[in-house]
């Protein structure tokens, strides 16, 4: 199988996975949105980022954690599900939903004062922190004829998430490293809350 066929297959599976999540969450009344690399790719490139077509990140509000947990039996019918409870007082969770070769990460988000944050690891003090205004309004972005929720001001979200260079296509081969690289992830905090 050549690269383009493999890429298209992964995109098809990722889209199908997202549609299953959308159906389950919509039926349960859980508001969720697209974020991170998928939103970047859809907005900037009109499709998933090349070499990142097997990874989707979504968010939901922390108030819906119990609703998400209640969806686990339905999610297990389609995905291999891993629920990570972050060691924190806020009850943060991250769902990893895998159907080979693709995975979705679904993060709980919390509003605290003038910021919205999501935990990024099992360690309580790691978080992506956004100004509240990034999440004050939601809109939709279309992918393959289906509308998905996303922050209304996508460019503000992307600049906050990836920095002023978010328009530059970058892969691991180009120097993409990890979440802990502050030059590529300016809203990442190793020590949050301060």
Query: How confident is the prediction for the chain on average, in pLDDT?
Result: 90
Tell me which residue of 62, 31, 56, 38 sits closest to 127, measured CA to CA.
Answer: 62
pLDDT (tens digit per residue) in 46-71: 999 988 899 999 999 999 999 999 99
pTM higher than the cut 0.85 = yes
Q: Is the pLDDT of residue 88 over 70?
A: yes
Indicate the pLDDT class of residue 3, thresholds 50, 70 and 90: low
Does residue 194 fall inside a structural domain?
Answer: no
Check residue 132 and give its pLDDT. 97
pLDDT range class, residue 177, cuts 50, 70, 90: low
For residue range 95-119, list pLDDT tens digits in order. Answer: 999 998 899 999 999 999 999 999 9
- Domain hosting residue 91, numbered range: 3-189
Residue 194 CA to residue 191 CA, distance in Å, equals 6
Inside any domain, residue 162? yes
Q: Is 101 within the bounds of a domain?
A: yes
Sign of the dihedral defined by the CA atoms of residues 2, 39, 68, 88, in that order? positive
**What's the full length of the chain, in residues?**
194
Question: Which is nearest to 98 in space by CA: 106, 90, 89?
Answer: 106
Place of tokens 């969720």: 32
Neighbour-count burial for 79-113, b at 16+ CB within 10 Å, e otherwise? bebeeeebebebebbbbebeeeebbbbbbbbbeee
Cβ atoms of 149 and 138 closer than 8 Å: yes
Please give the tally of structural domains in the chain. 1
> The dihedral of CA 87, 93, 97, 102: what is its sign?
negative
Looking up residue 166, the CATH number of its domain turns out to be 3.30.460
Does 35 reside within a domain? Answer: yes
């Amino acid at each position: 199988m050549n690269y383009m066929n493999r890429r298209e297959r992964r995109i098809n599976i990722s889209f199908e996975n997202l549609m299953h999540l959308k159906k389950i969450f919509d039926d349960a009344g859980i508001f969720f949105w697209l974020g991170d690399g998928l939103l970047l790719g859809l907005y900037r490139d009109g499709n998933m980022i090349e070499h990142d077509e097997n990874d989707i990140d979504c968010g939901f509000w922390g108030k819906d954690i119990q609703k998400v947990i209640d969806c686990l039996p339905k999610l297990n019918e389609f995905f291999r599900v891993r629920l990570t409870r972050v060691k924190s007082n806020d009850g943060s969770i991250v769902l990893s939903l895998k159907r080979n070769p693709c995975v979705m990460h679904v993060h709980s988000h919390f509003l605290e004062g003038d910021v919205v944050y999501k935990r990024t690891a099992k360690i309580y003090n790691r978080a992506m922190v956004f100004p509240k205004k990034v999440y004050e309004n939601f809109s939709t972005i279309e992918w393959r004829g289906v509308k998905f929720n996303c922050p209304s001001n996508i460019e503000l979200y992307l600049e906050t998430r990836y920095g002023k260079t978010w328009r530059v296509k970058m892969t691991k081969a180009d120097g993409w490293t990890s979440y802990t690289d502050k030059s590529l992830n300016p809203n990442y905090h190793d020590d949050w809350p301060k």
